[in-house]
Amino acid sequence: MAETALIAVGGNSLIRAGEKGTIAEQFANSRRTAQAIVQIIRLGFHVVVTHGNGPQVGAALIRSERAADQVYSHPLDVCDATTQGEIGYLLQQSLQIELAAAGLNTPVATIVTQVVVSAADPAMEHPTKPIGPFYSAREAESRRQQLGWSIVEDAARGYRRVVASPEPLEIVEEGVIRRLIETGVLVVAVGGGGIPVVRSGRGMLRGVEAVIDKDRASALLAARLKAEYFIISTDADRVYLNYKKPDQRPLGRVTAAEVEGYYRDGQFPPGNMGPKVQSALRFLRDGGKEVIITSYERLLDAVRGEAGTHIVRGGPGG
């Protein structure tokens, strides 16, 4: 029986360093990512695709804010939904093109996905996730007073809005995703970590102003689908110890226990590789077989065991 791999494509994989992030650039990058994904399918894997939306949701917020005096504005949960459609379209079309070129008659569907979080999550009272553009001190204070935003200072670049990043608890469309997969559909889902919603009276859903970490939500979906592999595509070819220091060292094949030890030693900071490593460990604890972390350029090589960082269950040396 074919094994299942959930591939989480980073938002920064679609907008590369130094690019403006035009649709043409994102489409070209999504085509290259799709080529690698189709090659993985040709190796015999069932594949599910998720993606980030960091740069794209920032752009959506800027558009909404700057056009607010002419058209209705979008709250953050609607911006999440908008970028799910935007990026899903780019990936869906790219995958359709590459599947056809490979002679594969595989249907592709993007699912606008809601993810339940808890209104009582401590993160809701302590926003930490920076989003959107940088502001001057005066602009930031104006928005804090008028819109009730939480603001943090970046000493080098100015002031920025921060929002809550709560833990994902439930994927609302999980059943739909599962049924599509069972009928042979290549599904794109949980874009940007999903649209954050809370359950109110009688189980009704309500969107909230938050951002769910893409890798945490992807790990949850991978575990719920009982996928064997969780593959994180990012802008680094491997996970490194002492990253960007003279003595940096790449990790090849390591155990979860070894990685957990490195994490406790402070090797993976929250704003960089930390959430990816946490998500990897969670997936393995929930029964996953292996996590692969690599760049989209090395996706196929990594699945073949020739590149990337591979984290497997077991103790040191096991």
C-alpha distance from residue 70 to each of 28, 63, 66, 73, 117 (Å):
32, 11, 9, 9, 33
> What tens digit of pLDDT does each residue of 295-316 get?
988 999 999 999 999 999 976 4
Q: Contact 7/43 with Cβ under 8 angstroms?
A: no
CA-to-CA distance for 46 and 51, rounded, in angstroms?
Answer: 17
What are the structure tokens assigned to 96, written together? Answer: 């359709």
Lowest mean pLDDT among 110-114, 117-121, 141-145: 141-145
User: Which residue in 109, 258, 129 sits closest to 177, CA to CA?
Assistant: 109
> What tens digit of pLDDT does each residue of 58-92 get?
888 888 878 888 988 899 999 999 999 999 999 99
- Clarify whether 245 is annotated catalytic: no
CA-to-CA distance for 218 and 192, rounded, in angstroms?
Answer: 9
- Clarify whether 129 is annotated catalytic: yes
User: Which residue in 173, 262, 267, 254 sits closest to 220, CA to CA?
Assistant: 173
Q: Which of 29, 132, 276, 288 is catalytic?
A: 276
Q: Which of 12, 21, 158, 207 is catalytic?
A: 12
CA-to-CA distance for 159 and 251, rounded, in angstroms?
Answer: 35
pTM, full prediction = 0.91
Domains within the chain, CATH numbers bracketed: 4-116+171-312 (3.40.1160.10)
Residue 27 pLDDT: 94
Q: Which of 54, 193, 214, 288 is catalytic?
A: 214
Lowest mean pLDDT among 106-115, 146-155, 262-271: 146-155
Residue 318 pLDDT: 39
Q: Which of 10, 11, 52, 288 is catalytic?
A: 11
> What tens digit of pLDDT does each residue of 212-241 get?
999 999 999 999 999 999 999 988 899 999
- Clarify whether 214 is annotated catalytic: yes
Q: Can you list the alpha helix ranges (DSSP code H) found in 160-270?
A: 174-182, 214-224, 256-264
Buried b / exposed e across 140-163, counting CB within 10 Å, b at 16+? beebeeeeebebeeeeeeebbbbb
> What number is the average pLDDT over the span 266-272?
83
- Clarify whether 12 is annotated catalytic: yes
Q: Which of 29, 54, 58, 129 is catalytic?
A: 129
> What tens digit of pLDDT does each residue of 155-176 get?
677 888 888 899 999 999 999 9
What is the percentage of the chain residues whose pLDDT exceeds 70?
97
Q: Contact 76/137 with Cβ under 8 angstroms?
A: no
